[in-house]
């Protein structure tokens, strides 16, 4: 489809450059159209297009994750961005509201991940034979039995932060796959920075479905 259906929120453009956009992807909006159709980030490509080709997704976010998503408008920028992501040279910061409060203020999770399938369901699970996955984390604040944790993934594995948060013993609230219960998943791609030409960086606002818990943990944002 060339345009999103009526009633779908158009993603906010955080940064606009001739070579790229950084948008604030709403939670619940997939980056690609699913088998059943429906709107996705790609539904907005026509209105963002510059020239005859593109845009292109420079990377991915899970459907239920909100926040910073880089979209290339020029092929040379796309190639730069892909190389930086592949080399682990993109600075990515995520905020997550998790169940429970970690016993330490910060740490590093170094646990290989592999896709495990059971019936039609699948998830990423710790597996020595899996792909290397490293995530730095620190607690930003807490309130009762929840905490706001900042994650810095050093690798880019599928569901890495979600799986590592669960391995830490504190799954992300709303992440039904990894034990965080029901409701909207409280995971935000808070900021991103690429040392590309031109440089690309942005910070996303805390979405409405996370705001009450985030403010309970650290105050007004």
Active site residues: 62
Residue that the structure tokens 């706001």 belong to: 148
Query: Which residues contact residue 142 at a Cβ distance below 8 angstroms, ignoring those fewer than 6 apart?
Result: 101, 148, 217
**Alpha carbons 81 and 87: distance in angstroms, whole number:** 10
185 within 8 A of 68, measured Cβ to Cβ: no
Q: Give the pair of three-digit tokens for residue 118.
A: 């059971």
The string over 146-167, giving b where at least 16 C-beta atoms fall within 10 Å of a residue's C-beta and e elsewhere, is bbbbbbebeeebebbbbbbbbb
45 beta partners: none
């Amino acid at each position: 489809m060339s345009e999103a259906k009526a009633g779908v929120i158009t993603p906010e453009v955080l940064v606009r450059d001739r070579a790229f956009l950084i948008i604030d992807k709403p939670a619940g909006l997939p980056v690609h159209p699913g088998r059943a159709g429906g709107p996705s980030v790609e539904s907005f490509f026509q209105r963002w297009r510059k020239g005859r080709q593109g845009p292109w997704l420079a990377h991915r976010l899970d459907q239920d994750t909100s926040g910073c998503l880089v979209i290339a408008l020029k092929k040379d920028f796309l190639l730069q961005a892909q190389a930086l992501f592949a080399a682990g040279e993109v600075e990515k910061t995520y905020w997550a509201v998790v169940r429970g409060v970690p016993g330490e203020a910060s740490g590093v999770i170094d646990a290989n991940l592999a896709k495990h399938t059971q019936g039609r369901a699948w998830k990423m699970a710790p597996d020595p034979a899996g792909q290397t996955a490293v995530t730095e984390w620190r607690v930003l604040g807490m309130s009762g039995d929840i905490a706001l944790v900042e994650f810095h993934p050093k690798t880019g594995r599928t569901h890495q932060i979600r799986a590592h948060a669960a391995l830490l013993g504190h799954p992300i609230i709303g992440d039904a796959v990894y034990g965080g219960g029901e409701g909207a998943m409280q995971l935000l791609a808070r900021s991103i920075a690429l040392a590309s030409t031109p440089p690309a960086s942005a910070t996303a606002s805390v979405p409405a479905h996370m705001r009450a818990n985030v403010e309970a943990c650290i105050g007004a944002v």
